Structure 1
Amino acid sequence: MNLDTYFSTPVWWDKLNIDVDAMVAFCHRLRQSDPQGNQLSNAGGWQSREFYYGDHPETLPLLNEILRRSRQCLKDFGYDGTKFETYFDNIWVNINQMSHYNRIHIHCASFLSGAYYLTDSDAQIEFYRNFQEQYTIESLAPVLELNAINAPKISYPAQKNHLVMFPSWVPHSVEPNPEDRERISISFNIRIRKKGTPL
């Protein structure tokens, strides 16, 4: 019997060529300047207050690489890249110590969200299927083997100098950090606008 699959959830990833040590130093300086930080999805750990493209010139090499790749995401979704473009909304830093994690959440009003990892970590980012759909799948009968059609979640590793991007409406979380070392990432949201639209 033939099988077609539709309504897929894209996750893009790539290894970058960024000066990681410089970015780690930037993240530590940001934390020193505001030890309290922000409290949103993080359970423990430190999250910076949001900042924007151009606020910290030392981040521009990284942000420009992300922005360049986001144009491919725009194309993959079938949007007209001659009329529309991607641009950064907010950006923030996450530093998780041992046992810290991020609760399940989504990012509202954006096209793409993502994370750039400055450290290797066994604490993975996890993406979840729509909860109502998953409840229905599991309530009908026991699932013998997980696959792309029935899996409730999928995980991606946190690898140093790697970028992961995904649609902002996909529920996601970060596993508890099992190691006695920092898990550092820079997260962001990206939106779409018509070219020529002023900010």
Structure 2
Amino acid sequence: MPVTLEGADLAFAPAWLAQDAADALFAHLQAEVPWSVHRIRLFGRLVDSPRLSCWIGDPGAGYTYSGTRFEPHPWPPLLADLRVRVAETCGEEFNSVLANLYRDGRDSMGWHRDDEPELGPRPVIASLSLGATRRFVLKERVGAGSAVAPRKRVFELGHGSLLRMAGDTQRHYRHALPRTARPVGPRINLTFRRIRSAP
């Protein structure tokens, strides 16, 4: 269902995957994906990313993020089938997916935009969440010293939910998955993307 937020093109389906399908997918990915700690550049130095990740995609769908180049692992059959369904829902052909495993509430994602050159100027990002519900925040980019408060939208991304970000969303908004002190179980997030060209 479409979500109204000025300057953004969003749609959110809180129960896109049925419970049993989401349960099976979560268990399979947690056990079978070759999870690793990615190194990212933060304030000029390389640090461990606060989550486990795996870049998966078609041959040639390499991706540069935060100063590090990632070459894709091949598609597991379960994800290859899933991307067809996600593509039909979102109206985009995806050739890659970033899988993230948030082990508990201490794992997080800081403020950023998915604006890498390989994604093109108006990327479609499809974000499928599995496992524990986590808070996802979109915040408008405003100029320094602006007297206008930035627009903000908060989503509770639950098990089997699908969030699509498209159009000018990445140009106008940053997003984050904040840490939480409350007890929370593991969460897997799949962000389907289309790599359009080498940087």
TM class, shorter-chain normalised?
A: 0.5 to 0.7
Match of 1:95 among 101, 124, 141: 101
Partner AA of 1:183 in structure 2: R
* Amino acid across the alignment from 1:62: L
RMSD after superposition: 3.0
Please, which of 45, 51, 56 is the counterpart of residue 56 of structure 2?
51
Residues 100-115 of structure 1 aligned to structure 2 (within 5 Å): 100-107=107-114, 108-109=116-117, 110=119, 111-115=123-127
- Provide the C-alpha distance between the structure 2 equivalents of 1:43 and 1:60, rounded to a whole number of angstroms: 26
Change (3 A) 1:61 1:137: farther
> Residue type matched to 1:45 in 2?
R
Counterpart Cα distance in 2 of 1:37 and 1:88: 24
Find the residue that maps to 2:137 and give its secondary structure: strand
Identity value in percent: 10
Structure number with higher helix proportion: 1
Aligned length: 159
Structure 1 unpaired stretches of 5+: 72-85, 139-149, 194-199
User: Structure 1-normalised TM-score?
Assistant: 0.67
- Using the size of structure 2 for normalisation, the TM-score is 0.67
Specify the alignment match of 1:166 in structure 2: 165
Give 1:7 shift: 5.6
CA distance in 1 between partners of 2:154 and 2:75 (Å): 32
State the match for 1:12 in structure 2. 11
Q: Output the CA distance in 2 between the equivalents of 1:181 and 1:120.
A: 5
| Correspondences of 1:1-199 after superposition (within 5 Å) | 8-14=7-13, 15-18=15-18, 19-31=21-33, 33-34=34-35, 36-40=36-40, 43-48=49-54, 50-52=55-57, 55-71=75-91, 86-96=92-102, 97-107=104-114, 108-109=116-117, 110=119, 111-121=123-133, 123-132=134-143, 135-138=145-148, 150-167=149-166, 169=170, 170-177=173-180, 178-190=182-194
For the pair shown, which has the larger CA radius of gyration, 1 or 2? 1
Structure 1 ranges of 4+ moved more than 3 A: 39-43, 190-193
Gaps of 5+ in 2: 43-47, 59-73
Corresponding letter in the other structure for 1:181: G
Per-residue Cα deviation, 1:123-178 (whole angstroms, up to 9, x for no partner): 3111110131x74134xxxxxxxxxxx54421111111110011362311101143
